[in-house]
Structure 1
């Protein structure tokens, strides 16, 4: 369609147009990003030339789910061709493609070819589902990842369960120890074997799951001292034969724990977090056959650590609102809205609160 120079949108300069096109080419926020970008490139010759001359637009569109519904296999290869050497964004979700059709097999092969042939170009890699047909293998990740910034996926279990982590096991260095740009690591089902890998110190966000024992988890956290976001799910105690180290995470802003009470208490007891950090704890895994006293002892240990943190937080911050939500059978949460921060005597803290809400159930 010919461009009308009097149409307001055609008066926009190249930088503004590219900014709009780039916003629309985000597969992580818009599942229609491929379709939107394709039809945008067909609006007029000016836009098409501009977009074809911007490989980074096409490099961000490797959404395996969206590609599955594009009929022409040739378009899959065309997308790679248009991306040239730009850093790649890849999102794979295949719960809809569990049945092994010819199309799903071709797409799976495309995914493998992209990973193997362009690993050095991948900037963001997101595998939604550990049942995914696009699952990764550890062998696929044992190469340097110079561009990788964000990673999220499930790896087949290759190491012993955390209960047996003191036993000798095969050590395979992920990313061959080289991922200088990596800021987010959420590879579930795999323990980071090289706990001295230099890329750990650059991480801003990490997720640790039940593959980790307490010692391995603390070793990784010790190396990742710049963390701002930590999620721990189902960490197990493991066999603790010697005292555990204490780890300081001075930059942590969000700490979320979901799992058993005793590992939670031990992990919190050996982790120093700043007073401004948001702390969320969800305890699971009650065994009705356990003695009531044992359950109570474990829960009290978690509660004592949590209340100690809340007390220190209240002593260090001025706030104007308190929100407490208490559910007798599952959780209690405390939220505070700050107006200014600074040291102040604990006895003066309540007078600063102007709003108080309480919910229970």
Structure 2
């Protein structure tokens, strides 16, 4: 790398680091190795601890809410200070920002990976250096970390399938709009749906990869409805695709088509309003995991307690009957 490029990268890394006031002083001693889920060597209620929060992309509302949840939860624990970094959907920048956290140093890392494979090495490096690492939202390719706080995507697909099967007591054909081909979330949500529909009279007659995109979902749903005009339900792997599916259904005179979506947010623009207004029949909801990641950090750093390696986020089904509970 040329010196000028190196300088620009260093500036970008530093520009992406946001520090909350009152941060803890850096440790003098180098960290010692910490086993998965184990208590770090420096912990206790009388200490002050700095957490490095490495975020994938604050341009997306989900990740903004995730950071907000981390910030709010950490504010309730006086021993904790959080430093935030935004990778702006750039794997190299996220790796560099985590390297900077390790140099500062921090007492614990929370990493919301932009992509699993490019972040696996730096997560392992931090873990091997003895820094507790909480992977948030999506897994990396190795389990060299302290804890994984993330939704169970198989359970998400299963929940959607159970809802569709229950909503269609006489059975019938349903369709699925999947996320990006090859992504773990898309693969696992599809597997959960298939598991839930197995042995029922509700049949999956079409599954298309809409790449998480509204326009692709709209186009593919129009095709599916042309091929299966008797379609009785649809599961979309995210809200954007569900909105596209609804638009296609309305255009085809099928505004009543039951659509199930998935979200990690609550509010007016993330699927909850679509349930309240009748565009979606249901929404499988999980939290951002931000609060849960801070709680795991507190248990490790303040309480000196070991934590479970895998911590699946609880799921709730949002329907017209309970939708007001989810509007913030």
> Is the structural similarity TM-score above 0.5?
no
- TM-score, length of structure 1 as denominator length: 0.27
Which of 1 and 2 has higher RCO (CA within 8 Å, sep 6+)?
2
Greater Rg over alpha carbons, structure: 1
- TM-score, length of structure 2 as denominator length: 0.29
